[in-house]
């Protein structure tokens, strides 16, 4: 029935030169009083966080056995096996045809092969996995597609260090990259 008029003023030049939306005025005055103009704060450019490790880009295709010792994000296509000692992420546009052996695997794209993880496998919404998963910790988030079996009993195991006296040390320790490769290759 009654339409409330906007009483704030916005500098059009500021709005066109910044990415930030105009900030509405919280000052409510009767229509008879002129409203003060609203200053729009300048947007500070935010750069995306730098990826930790390496990135196999969207346009790249790799065929063969891929071995890596640093965090890796696969956005391209890999046809063959992957042996990895750190966190391997198959990005939303990434596709892998082959078995994966890694410390940690995060799938956001498509994998057609078995996953062997020393620590964990996470399958995110929109991801597709066609193959068996061998890991102690497995998370399949709502919206993900999984066709295969999950085996948490036969997952690669982190060995314990023998303490003096022959008893196993129960304190967790970080494995070296060489130990990870040996464990994953033997499983």
Residue 39 to residue 106: CA distance in whole angstroms: 44
Please say if the pLDDT value at position 50 is more than 50: no
Residues in a beta bridge with 106? 89, 122
151 secondary structure, DSSP code: E
Q: What is the mean pLDDT of residues 156-164?
A: 52
Give the least confident one: 21-30, 53-62, 100-109: 21-30
pLDDT at 158: 54
Residue 91: which residues within 8 A CB-CB, separation 6 or more?
Answer: 73, 74, 75, 108, 109
Please say if the pLDDT value at position 34 is more than 60: no
For residue 165, how many C-alpha atoms fall within 13 Å in the half-sphere facing its CB? 3
pLDDT at 84: 85
pLDDT at 153: 85
Q: What is the mean pLDDT of residues 113-135?
A: 95
Residue 27 to residue 158: CA distance in whole angstroms: 62
- Pick the closest to residue 39 from 7, 11, 5 (CA basis): 11
pTM of the model: 0.61
């Amino acid at each position: 029935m009654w339409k409330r008029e906007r009483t704030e003023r916005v500098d059009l030049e500021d709005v066109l030169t910044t990415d930030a939306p105009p900030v509405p005025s919280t000052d409510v005055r009767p229509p008879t009083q002129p409203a003060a103009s609203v200053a729009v704060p300048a947007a500070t450019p935010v750069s995306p966080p730098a990826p930790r490790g390496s990135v196999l880009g969207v346009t790249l295709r790799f065929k063969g056995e891929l071995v890596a010792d640093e965090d890796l994000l696969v956005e391209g296509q890999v046809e063959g096996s992957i042996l990895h000692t750190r966190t391997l992420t198959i990005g939303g546009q990434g596709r892998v045809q082959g078995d994966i052996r890694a410390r940690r695997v995060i799938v956001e794209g498509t994998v057609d092969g078995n996953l062997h993880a020393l620590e964990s496998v996470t399958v995110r919404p929109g991801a597709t996995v066609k193959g068996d998963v061998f890991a102690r910790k497995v998370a399949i988030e709502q919206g993900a597609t999984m066709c295969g079996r999950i085996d948490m009993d036969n997952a690669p195991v982190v060995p314990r260090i023998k303490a003096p006296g022959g008893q196993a040390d129960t304190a967790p320790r970080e494995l070296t990259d060489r130990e990870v490769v040996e464990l994953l290759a033997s499983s």
